[in-house]
Amino acid sequence: MKRSQIVKYICALAVLLASCVAVSAQNSFDNANSNYDVSLHLIIGSDEAGTKGDIPNDLGNVTKAIKNQFGFANYRLASTFQGRLANSGSFSYKSTSNIFGKESTQAMQSFLEWNIAGFHVMAPAGSSRAFVSDGFNFGARVPVLTNVASTDGKSSTITNYEPIGLTLRTVGLKENVPTMIGTLNLPGTSGTIFLVVTVRSAD
């Protein structure tokens, strides 16, 4: 190979490398400055009569997969929670919610806590992004009503709060794809909570 050809080859390689570095830097800049909405959907499956409810169309595919795998007669969306994250961000939520969806009384309120730690935006794959979270945690204390007989033959109802929870490490998610990441049994019922997470661009 002639010296002039070698020089041209080295120059072309340098230009290509510089372009790759520029694209990589731009992707890193875009990822670092982008915000994402993370939604947690609680879908409840049960065989109880009168518990069927509407499920949004955007959860249709994951709900269909859940129905194919589990044999409950009814499914409903109990609650949806949302937080906003940027690359390398974390999110924590604490509040109360009526998971059971029955009469909205203080006795039926559940205490919820969920968080996402170390949310990382991966390099775009085609037109959609992928994400990895270092950790996901969901915890709740749900009311379980129990009838207690007294000495005079009468009965009273007491409320006990039973803890349930789910902890995951290194969770992978895709943009705009609702993903079922775990299940929890509801104490005092035959129902199961399905935890579904969706990540969407907030920009």
Q: Which residues contact 37 (CB under 8 A, 6 or more apart)?
A: 82, 83, 84, 199, 200, 201, 202
- Tell me how far apart the alpha carbons of residues 36 and 83 are, in angstroms, rounded to a whole number: 8
Residue among 139, 126, 114, 100 at smallest CA distance from 38 = 114
CB 158 within 8 A of CB 137: no
Report the pLDDT value the prediction gives residue 99, as an integer from 0 to 100. Answer: 74
Q: Which amino acid is at 103?
A: E
Model pLDDT, residue 105: 56
Token pair of 124 as six digits: 């775009």
Rg (CA), the chain: 24
Residue 159: per-residue pLDDT: 80
Per-residue pLDDT, 184: 92
Partnered with residue 140 across adjacent β-strands are 112, 164
- Compute how many other C-beta atoms are within 10 angstroms of the C-beta atom of residue 113: 14
Residue 128 DSSP one-character state = B
Q: What are phi and psi of 11, to 5 degrees?
A: -65, -45
Q: What is the total residue count of the chain?
A: 203
For the chain (length 203 residues), average pLDDT per consecutive 10?
52 47 42 82 85 80 92 89 91 84 63 92 72 93 77 74 91 93 86 94 83
Q: What is the pLDDT of residue 143?
A: 83
C-alpha closest to that of 173 among 182, 163, 186, 183: 182
**Prediction pTM value:** 0.76
For the chain, give every domain's residue range.
1-33, 35-201
What pLDDT sits at residue 26?
Answer: 41
As a dihedral over the C-alpha atoms of residue 91, residue 96, residue 101, residue 106, rounded to 10 degrees, the angle is 180
